[in-house]
Amino acid sequence: MPPQRWHPHLWHPTTQVASADPPLRAVRGRGALLELDDGRQLIDAISSWWVTLHGHAEPSIAAAVAAQATELEQVIFANFSHPPAEQLADALSARSGLERLFFSDNGSTAVEVALKIAWQWWRNRGEPRRQLIAFEGAYHGDTMGAMALGARSPFTAPFDELLFEVARAPWPATWWGDEGVEPRERLALERLEQLLETPTAAVILEPLVQGAAGMAMVREGFLREVERRVRAAGALLIADEVLTGFGRTGALFACQRAGLTPDLIALSKGLTGGFLPMGVTLAREALHAGFIGASERTFLHGHSFTANPLGCAAALASLTLLEANPGRYERFEARHRPHLEVLAQHPKLRFPRLIGTIAAIDLVLEKPGYFNPAGRIVQRRALAEGVFLRPLGQVIYLLPPLCLDDTQLEQCYGAISRALEAL
Ligand SMILES: Cc1ncc(COP(=O)(O)O)c(C=O)c1O
């Protein structure tokens, strides 16, 4: 087995070289498995940062990308349109009910675009609104605007002076057997109402699950109450579905499961089935209409790779595959449930929660937090059993690709359970 090592010319994301293990070296991906250069095979239990939707190297997406690559690989989208972009816009518009699609490159930029559209739309109307509201614990990406919308955390700390102010309402996360959720929801709604007394451009939320916060799940009814208040205040509602989109919560979009009708939706990650980096922001036609007229009204935002045809082809193939078998995402929750019920009995675990393909549970720790080493211990132990996890501090979660079979699912839960012995 070759030793794991740091490459002399690479700089890895969110990684402290002084204390982290050197990276695993992947040479191949097939379905739910990643193969390493030493021949080991690992179950990718977190879909490679939540992007690999169906499975690695999914043949129909690979074929669609290969076919598109020999036709049109890229074209400047300011002056051109192209069939895959148009087909994708038609498809996502029909499914989301939002008529306009703006392309960018990843989840952070999809959020930045939503924010900029919302902000400029009010300006274009001649009634600028200066307040933005987000939720405690939120994560919307690592670029400056997306970071500003997200909660302050060790990730934002070095940049806090640079980040614009955002008003924040509590996020009443809940779990199985939680008896205190109602008063927490009431408190959150009261705070939101107070904040909305100030004219507000937009409220942004991660529908049903705050991912990076540690798979913090809220009830559908709470979100509907949020929307009711946002509408009453005349603010725009932005749904960041970068994680939750494309079946992750058991419905095509989390907004559909929760019964929300946002004005803007940010999508990425599963959009291309995890094949290519791409983000999209869907917007109501009325927002688009607010940008038509004099040149100052223009949305002067664009990325070099806007609407990259390979990404569009991957996204179309991914959507086709997803819709050919919706049972794969609709039934995942029922597949998780019995395993999570057993795991939840473990004395070192608490706060079990589950939605769609996402199951999470917390380690009982004296000092929970992102840097608590317990998560790393669980990660190492599971890795030794061929399961790749990436706990978020004390939160152990599974967010696997849809192709994961029952044996592999059992392996994931078994590896977590046995890893707890090391704590
Ligand atoms: C809800 C949410 N929004 C935005 C982002 C940022 O996406 P990206 O990492 O592609 O920039 C993430 C990434 O985890 C996310 O979970």
The topology under which CATH files domain 46-57+327-401+413-422 is Aspartate Aminotransferase, domain 1 (3.90.1150)
pLDDT for position 1: 54
In this predicted structure, what is the pLDDT of residue 383?
Answer: 97
CATH architecture under which domain 62-324 falls: 3-Layer(aba) Sandwich (3.40)
Q: What percent of the chain has pLDDT over 90?
A: 97
The verdict on the CB of residue 206 being under 6 Å from ligand 1 is yes
Beta strand ranges found along 138-240 (DSSP E): 167-169, 200-205, 209-210, 216-217, 236-240
pLDDT of 369 reads 86
Atom of ligand 1 nearest to the CA of 211: 16
Residue ranges of the domains in the chain?
46-57+327-401+413-422, 62-324
Residue with tokens 């599963």: 270
Q: From ligand 1's centre to the CA of 293, what distance in Å?
A: 33
CA neighbor of 207 nearest in space, from 237, 182, 231: 237
pLDDT at 198: 98
pLDDT digits (tens, 9 = 90+) for 127-163: 999 999 999 999 999 999 999 999 999 999 999 999 9
Give distance in angstroms: CA of 51 to centre of ligand 1.
Answer: 10
Mean pLDDT of 100-108: 98
Give the tens place of pLDDT for each residue, 47-68: 999 999 999 999 999 999 999 9
Which one-letter amino acid corresponds to residue 413? Y
The pLDDT value recorded for residue 127 is 96
Give per-residue pLDDT as tens, 285-326.
999 999 999 999 999 999 999 999 999 999 999 999 999 999
Kindly report the protein residue whose alpha carbon is nearest to atom 13 of ligand 1: 141
Q: Is 135 in the pocket of ligand 1 (CB under 6 A)?
A: no
Q: Is the pLDDT of residue 2 over 70?
A: no
Distance, CA 1 to ligand 1 centroid (Å)? Answer: 34
- What per-residue confidence (pLDDT) applies to 42? 98
Global pTM?
A: 0.98
Residue closest to 196 by CA, chosen among 289, 125, 134: 134
Q: Which residues make Cβ contacts (< 8 Å) with residue 47, sequence separation at least 6?
A: 53, 274, 399, 400, 401
Question: Would the CB of 287 count as within 6 Å of ligand 1?
Answer: no
Q: Is the pLDDT of residue 4 over 90?
A: no
* 77 pLDDT above the threshold of 70: yes
Tell me whether the CATH fold assigned to 46-57+327-401+413-422 matches the one assigned to 62-324.
no
- For 223-281, what is each residue's pLDDT tens digit? 999 999 999 999 999 999 999 999 999 999 999 999 999 999 999 999 999 999 999 99
Q: Please provide the average confidence, as pLDDT, over all residues in the chain.
A: 97
If one counts every other C-beta atom within 10 angstroms of the C-beta of residue 198, the result is 13
Query: Candidates 14, 156, 238, 243: which one to mutate for ligand 1, based on the most atoms within 8 Å of Cβ?
Result: 243
Instruction: Establish whether residue 268 lines the binding site of ligand 1, counting it when its CB lies within 6 angstroms of any ligand atom.
Output: yes
**Tokens 């996502």 sit at which residue?**
92
Q: Is 134 in the pocket of ligand 1 (CB under 6 A)?
A: no
Of 362, 390, 355, nearest to 44 by C-alpha is: 390
